[in-house]
Amino acid sequence: MADDKDGREKQAADEDRRQRERDVEAELERGDEAEPPIDPDEVDEFEAALEPLTFPATGREIVAAVGERELESSTRVYAVADLLPDADMEAFDTPATVRERVRRPAVAAAMKRVVEAAATLENEEFGRSQHEAFERTFRALSDVDELDDEEGVRAIADWVADRIAEKETVPGSRDVRRQAAKYCRKHGYEVRDDEWLGV
């Protein structure tokens, strides 16, 4: 590959893509967190249904293709359209990244709410690192055993959407982590400084 600006940018983009794929694989292999609420076999079938799509694909493209498909957890049934943003702001690199998102419905629904709220803003950037920090915050909040994961995640997603509507900008990831930590403390869970939520 030529050592010019385009070549370096392509190399950097390829490395970013490979790193995200490694992160997804590592997350899939992690055994230290609770079982996801969606049956793994059902998620496998869903991932297979994504194969005809060309990736990277936006949330809008995925919802248009498979949005009516349903995924069942032990407590309820989710339409894919309830878990993925109907927006062009977020693109998924591979079927595995979509699979990882829908495995945790509370987190997926929260990210959908945030991305769709951010998509209403003109000229607003919602960069990948900020996006990943929001998702990591929702996952950390969901992993707190003492809390109802859906209620806490939903409360913080509501807070983010309200902030976006009020201030017409996406709040910083530290603000979201700080708000999640406040929620935890309010509900009797002490957040340590060495935890992700311990800003």
Q: What is the pLDDT of residue 18?
A: 75
Average pLDDT, the chain: 84
Distance CA(101)–CA(87), nearest Å, equals 15
The domain limits of the chain are 12-103, 107-199
Query: Which of 17-21, 22-26, 62-66 is most confident?
Result: 62-66
- Could you tell me the pLDDT band of residue 19, with boundaries at 50, 70 and 90? confident
**Where is average pLDDT lowest: 26-40, 146-160, 161-175?**
26-40
Could you give the CA distance from residue 63 to residue 46 in angstroms, rounded to a whole number?
12
How many other CB atoms sit within 10 Å of the CB of residue 47? 16
Given a cut of 80, whether residue 33 has pLDDT beyond it is no
**pLDDT for 125:** 79
Lowest mean pLDDT among 45-49, 145-149, 157-161, 186-190: 145-149
> Helix or strand or coil: residue 51?
coil
Q: How many CB atoms lie within 10 A of CB 55?
A: 16
Cα distances from 193 to residues 23, 173, 178, 182, 198, in angstroms, run 24, 16, 11, 13, 4
Distance CA 66, CA 90 (A): 16
pLDDT tens by residue, 88-140 = 988 999 998 998 888 889 999 999 999 999 999 987 778 888 889 999 999 99
Three-class DSSP category at 144: coil
The one-letter code for the residue type at 176 is V
